[in-house]
Amino acid sequence: MCREAYFGHQIVELVENGSHNITKKVNIALVEICPIRETLESFQEVILDVELDCERLKVDLLLTKQCLNDALRAFLMRIFFCRSSKLDFSCLRERSLGICGGYVKHTQGSSLYGEIRQETVIKIDQIRFHPELRARKPLGGIDSVRVQLEEALTERRSVLLTGPSGTGKYSLVKLIAVEQNLPLFEIRGLHFVRSLPGETEAELRKMFLRLQLFDELMDEEKPIILLVKDVDTICPKVEGKKSEEYANVARIASQFVALVDQYKESSKNLIIIGTTSNIESMDNRLRRPGRLDKEIAFGMPSKQQRIEILRSFHNTARSMTDGDLNEIAQRTAGYVGAELELLYYNLAREMHKKRTSFLETLTEVQKKHRPASLRSATGLVGTDASLSMDSFAGMDTLKSLLRLCVVEQLANPARFTRLGIHPLKGILLYGPPGCAKTTLAKCLAAESGMTFLSLSPAEVYSPYVGDAEKLITRVFNEARTNAPAVVFLDEIDSLVGNRGSAGMKGGSSAVNMGVLSTLLMEMDGIGQAEQVAGMLSEDAKRVVVIAATNRPDMVDDALLRPGRLTKMIHIPAPDARARLAILKKLGEKIPFAEDVNLEELADNTERYSGADLQNLCTQAALNAATEDLDAKIVTMSHLQLALADVRPSLTKEQIEWYHSYESDKRR
């Protein structure tokens, strides 16, 4: 048979009229197309690599590899090709039977080009199950989890992957399946559940039948992965469900468990991998040996893991330095991999668009992209990264002590562990009101890069029994999730009280007792559930409790023992030197005139707290504005006028009482 054929790498359009104007600028390439004048004969043998799409594969028609060969023969009839040709069957759509394409590895025949006839022998060398050519999603910070999953696949063990959403459970399974060329079938949680009774069970039976037929088609010792995404929606706990809903949920869960047992016995190649971000709501029947018996937890990434995750994005889009990546990791406690990816690329885009500094852009982007673990957090969540211990004046000795006990231990833990020093777990700040106890806790958390969670008695107490204890537990779980973190308990004397004081029996004091016992358990680290503990990062133990009170004598002694609120720090009323430093700090924002004598003002403000001094300067500025709306400076006369109106909030007896209490504690 003699046939004329043409071979070319690009398709070009020839313009007959040379004067034809081309108005649109396009890239035009001239390609020489040479006719093939030699005789095209059929190949004697063809060896192919075949690409299959597991999701669309018609296993009910392709029962054996001979059926697969016959389908390939039907597709390639009347088509000529040569060795190293890439075959694409996507144009056949549903008629492709799930065969996406192939690659001609070897041909045997008298000519370079040829075609397939009935007598041609077709052999399949390799079968590829992931034909998509998309770039693989970069993954980092999960090396230990990846090793565990690969070991489970080698041992043919079914696995349950647990962890918060966005930590890379699905992406890791997909990546390993692509790298090892393993067939992957998927059941996608709620997308798989049908509305009418019995439909979901029928779909489950169809899926497991597909797996059985596919195993017979492959007829080789190759693992087959069934990935059940959000397995807790397919097989949830049935406790607490309504009667109608209970019957439906229980039927679906029982059908799934029965199919798992049946096909685990009949097929040694089937590996079921379930993923869930809420393991507590999953039916415990799936977690027994023989089903999903190996559990692998994806925890919240630690700082080092966050650096590795950011570095995996950095390898694909180099727009930041290693120092920048370290700064991002320091300020993103509580972020999972998906949130870090969104933050990184938005940060790179904003830096390129606005041409602003890295730290300014990072602060602005973080305000828009907070971690999911803090979006519904209980109490006040501090996010101001611009604060530091130098944001307020005075208390230099105290600042040095806190930097050593908290900031330095967090930044360089090895220096302290080699001396047998354990990280500080709790601090009690006590002193007169208005002396910066709350501000000190916020600045300490910001300077050390810790998440700041604040609670007050008004937020804790509820008219319902048990709600206060649940809220305490929730706050500590949020702190462990976003560790390193500071839990700030304001007015702790009102929150828990003292069991040795009168009036602690019965009534509302019984609620105080429950809150106190819950708080003691959480501070000791024994209040967390085992399921929650498996999802935490290596930094989860770095939770510092800072409590503040105006009545240290009303705090229960059990809270003050070593290992809980270990350090008791007196925040005294500012002396003349501290008041001068505070006034100078306030002068950075309020324009004082040259005639303002801050030393004289500091001497005249005895018994004024830091809050009183700020109120004094604000009142002086208001006096200046009242006198002249166009005023640009605050004079000494404005301050003296304000001094007559703003009186000190502290008394001499108050100040002496706190000094006396401090002296008694040192004895």
51/70 same-domain check: yes
481/565 same-domain check: yes
Return mean pLDDT, the chain.
Answer: 81
CATH number at residue 434: 3.40.50.300
Q: Mean pLDDT lowest for which of 36-50, 588-602, 613-627, 643-657? A: 36-50
How far apart (Å, rounded) are the C-alpha atoms in residues 609 and 605?
9
496 and 513 in contact (C-beta within 8 Å)? no
633/559 same-domain check: no
Residue 181, phi then psi, degrees to nearest 5: 55, 55
Q: What is the distance of C-alpha 124 from the center of its chain?
A: 44
Report pLDDT for 134: 55
112/181 same-domain check: no
Residue 481 lies in a domain: yes
Report pLDDT for 538: 63
Best-predicted range by mean pLDDT (398-412, 499-513, 634-648) = 634-648
Residue 630 lies in a domain: yes
How far apart (Å, rounded) are the C-alpha atoms in residues 619 and 126?
83
Report pLDDT for 147: 92
Residue 503 lies in a domain: no
DSSP per-residue string spanning 420-465: TPPPP-EEEEE-STTSSHHHHHHHHHHHHT-EEEEE-HHHH--SST
Higher-scoring residue by pLDDT: 72, 376: 72
Burial degree of 33 (CB within 10 A; 0-12, 13-18, 19+): exposed
403/545 same-domain check: yes
Report pLDDT for 150: 92
How far apart (Å, rounded) are the C-alpha atoms in residues 179 and 41?
38
Mean pLDDT of 614-625: 89
Which of 297, 322, 351 is where one domain is finished? 297
Residue 654 lies in a domain: no
550/445 same-domain check: yes
208-222 pLDDT per residue, tens: 999 988 888 887 788
Which of 276, 297, 318 is where one domain is finished? 297
Q: What is the dihedral of CA 569, 575, 577, 578, to 10 degrees?
A: 50
CATH number at residue 582: 1.10.8.60
Report pLDDT for 382: 57
Token digits for 29? 């390439």
367/481 same-domain check: no
Q: Mean pLDDT lowest for which of 5-19, 467-481, 619-633? A: 5-19
Higher-scoring residue by pLDDT: 17, 499: 499
243/227 same-domain check: yes
Domain count, the chain: 5
Looking at the predicted structure, is the pLDDT value of residue 639 above 70? Answer: yes
Mean pLDDT of 477-482: 82
458/603 same-domain check: no
Token digits for 495? 């929150």
561/412 same-domain check: yes
Confidence band of 38 (pLDDT split at 50, 70, 90): low
- Domain around 310: 303-375
269-290 pLDDT per residue, tens: 899 999 998 888 888 888 888 8
Confidence band of 184 (pLDDT split at 50, 70, 90): very high
Mean pLDDT of 367-387: 70
Residue 598 lies in a domain: yes
How far apart (Å, rounded) are the C-alpha atoms in residues 278 and 192?
18
